[in-house]
Amino acid sequence: MRHVDFSPLYRSTVGFDRLFTMLDSLGQPEQAQSYPPYNIERTGENLYRITMAVAGFDESELSIEAHAHVLTVKGEKVEDEKVEQSEFLYRGIAKRAFERRFQLADHVEVTAASLKNGLLHIDLLRNIPEAMKPRRIAIAAEPLGSAPKAIEAHVN
C-alpha cells in the first residue's frame, strides 16, 4: 500500500491533525492483534455496541477506560492455585492478558458495560450537542396583495 504524505495539509488546516493521524495509521499494517475477537454493531440511529469474546475472564479481571477519544479494554488473568496442581495435556483456552483499543468519534460516550456468557458488551451513545445539530430555518412568505416596499430618498 502506498504511503500518503499529509504534511501539506497540516500547513493549511487547523484542528484536523487528529483526523490526519488516524488516516495515516490506517496505512500501517496492524500489529497482528487478533485476540480477543470482537464485533462492532449499530443498534440504533445513535447507538452502538462492541461485543468482545472474553471467555474465562470475570468482571474483576477486566477493566474498561475511556479517555481522549480512545476506549481501552484490558484483561489480566489471575493465576488460580488449583490449576497449578493439575497437569495440562492440551491448553486451548487462552489465558493471556490483552489490551484492545478503539478510536471513538467526537461526542461518543460509553453508557454501559455487561459481561454475560463469556461476552463483554459495551454500549456506546453518540450524543451530539443541540448547538451542533442541524436546525430548520423558517422562511417567511410575503402576503400576495402587498406592493413591493420602496426605499424613498429625499434629494435636497
For the chain, residues with pLDDT lower than 50 are: 1
Q: Which long-range contacts (CB under 8 A, 24 or more apart) does 137-146 make?
A: none
Residues 98 and 63: beta-carbon distance below 8 Å: no
At residue 55, the pLDDT reads 86
At residue 134, the pLDDT reads 81
At residue 25, the pLDDT reads 66
As given in the structure block, the three cell numbers for residue 87 are: 497437569
Residues 120 and 52: beta-carbon distance below 8 Å: yes
At residue 17, the pLDDT reads 67
The pLDDT tens digits of the residues spanning 116-127 come to 998 999 999 988
At residue 9, the pLDDT reads 67
At residue 10, the pLDDT reads 65
Task: Give the N- to C-terminal CA distance of the chain in Å, as an integer.
Answer: 76
**C-alpha angle 94/96/100, rounded to 5°?**
105
Mean pLDDT of the chain: 80
DSSP state, 137?
P
For 4-141, strand residue ranges (E) read 38-42, 47-53, 62-67, 70-75, 98-103, 108-116, 119-126
> Does domain 33-129 fall into CATH 2.60.40.790?
yes
**Domain locations along the chain:** 1-30, 33-129
